[in-house]
Amino acid sequence: MPSPPPVPGRRAPWRTPLAIALAVLLALGVLAGAEWTYQRALDSLASLGARDTARNAIQTVMRRLLDMETAQRGYLLTGRPQYLDPYQAAETDIAHAISRLREHYRSDPDLLRLVDSLQERAREKTSEVTETIALYNAGSHAAWHGLMLTDIGREKMEGVRRVADVLMVTEERRLGIERAAIYRTLAVGHIGVYVLTLLSLLAYVFFLRKNAALQTSQIEHARHLQMERDSLESQVRLRTEELAQLNLGLQEMRDGERSGLARALHDDLGALLTTAKLDLTRLRHSLHTTDPEVTERLRHLSSSLDEGIGMKRRMMEELMPSALHNLGLQAAIEHRATEFEQQTGMTIDLAFMPVTLDVPSEQALFAVVQGALSNVERHASATIVSLRLAQEGIHAVVEVQDNGLGFADRQGTTSASGLRNLRHRIESLGGQFSVHSVPGSGTRVMARLPLRQRDPAPPGAPRATTSG
């Protein structure tokens, strides 16, 4: 018998947990990469927003100082008060812008000093504009005109512009750094997507290969199992055939022994009892006595011999029915049915068709009839029994059915053992045996055997073919 194939998955029990761990790590890597890219993008966007706020604040300071200078010149040239509106709103806007810059650079002392310088330069420029407007309002035209002709306003504005340029350059540089960080984050995320995609494809290919290997292993395992199953079935079939042949041989041996014993009873014991009966008859005729005791003894001896001869005949019929041996299966069944009706008082409906069988098949079918009728007599409590012998195709069929009590299960009983023996005997001859019974609805016993021709018999031997 071939050795059992390895069960798929048992050669490496660590592979499945490892594959699950790798899949979990890959999923965690995808989530971690996506989260990292998202957080970096959020940080970069927040930093860019802060940079834009700082640049807007610096530009606001410069723009409001220019608005103040423009308002100053327009007022000085025209004297119209409406030109002072931008000047009046500029101080508040500049203060708010300086406050935003302080908040933005709160963690950078160097840039905070530049913000202080920007605030100081803006205050000086504002003071210069305020002083010029105050002189104009006071009517000191020569004074404000002389102040305008000096370069103090331009110098103050240049000082503000230099500090603002430093801050703007710093913000531009940091904005460039942030943009580069964003590009790096995008590049890392881009590469991460490709790497994770490649790893996913590799994992999928690995899964497909393992799945294909598993399917191949399962197919190979199934093939080995099928081979083992076929081998076992072949061995079981061979052993069953051997047991059937052995059972058939034992049955034939048993039938031969029964037939030999029947012949011995007929030839030896029968001759002995017949001789004793004849001697007793001669003795009775030769004795002329009127002694009652002697007469009674002779009568009792004659009766005993008759009983012995009758017992010998019954034993011969049980061992080998003479009707089956001399007249064939149908005649033997009819004789057994007649005896059954006389013994039990039940009615038997007979239905026969001509069949041709060999001796073992006839003996087996007759044994089925005997066993079924014996069970009906002992257990069924039936009133009507139907007995059928027929030819169906290439099979001879015997069926015995009664309207008795039926049964559900008789495992372990004598009748069940007898039915089991009949089944083995029929199946050993290549036939089929079935018993169908429902409690309260009777029992049907059926045997089916292939038709087999009887071996040619010598001239003058009794025929084995039954006729209807």
For residues 160 and 117, what is the distance between their CA atoms, to the nearest angstrom? 8
Check pLDDT > 60 for residue 442.
yes
> Rounded to 5 degrees, what are φ and ψ at 389?
-125, 120
Check pLDDT > 60 for residue 14.
no
pLDDT of residue 262: 67
Specify burial of residue 355 (Cβ count, 10 A radius: 0-12, 13-18, 19+): buried
Furthest CA-CA distance within the chain? 205
Q: Which of 311, 383, 307 is nearest to 344 (CA)?
A: 383
Q: Across-strand partners of 443?
A: 402, 437
Specify burial of residue 401 (Cβ count, 10 A radius: 0-12, 13-18, 19+): buried
* Lowest-confidence pick of 140-144, 262-266, 417-421, 445-449: 262-266
pLDDT of residue 28: 80
> Domains in the chain, ordered, with CATH?
15-217 (1.20.120.30), 322-468 (3.30.565.10)
**pLDDT, average across residues 170-189:** 80
Q: Which of 350, 349, 396, 401 is nearest to 375 (CA)?
A: 401
pTM value is 0.44
* 334, two tokens: 């009819």
* 217, two tokens: 């292993």
Share of the chain above pLDDT 70, in %: 84
Compute the mean pLDDT over every residue in the chain, rounded to the nearest whole number: 78
Q: Strand 443-450 and strand 432-437: pairing? A: antiparallel
For residues 163 and 156, what is the distance between their CA atoms, to the nearest angstrom? 11
Residues 160 and 121 sit within 8 Å (Cβ to Cβ): yes
Check pLDDT > 70 for residue 245.
yes
Confidence of residue 162 (pLDDT cuts 50, 70, 90): confident
**pLDDT, average across residues 9-24:** 63
For residues 275 and 271, what is the distance between their CA atoms, to the nearest angstrom? 6
pLDDT of residue 318: 67
> Which comes out higher in pLDDT, residue 220 or 380?
220
> Which comes out higher in pLDDT, residue 292 or 234?
234
Residues 280 and 301 sit within 8 Å (Cβ to Cβ): yes
pLDDT of residue 168: 83
Confidence of residue 11 (pLDDT cuts 50, 70, 90): very low
Query: CA end-to-end span of the chain, whole Å?
Result: 54
Residue 4 CA, chain-centre distance (Å), reads: 22
Q: Which of 429, 364, 431, 376 is nearest to 400 (CA)?
A: 376
* Lowest-confidence pick of 99-103, 188-192, 440-444: 188-192
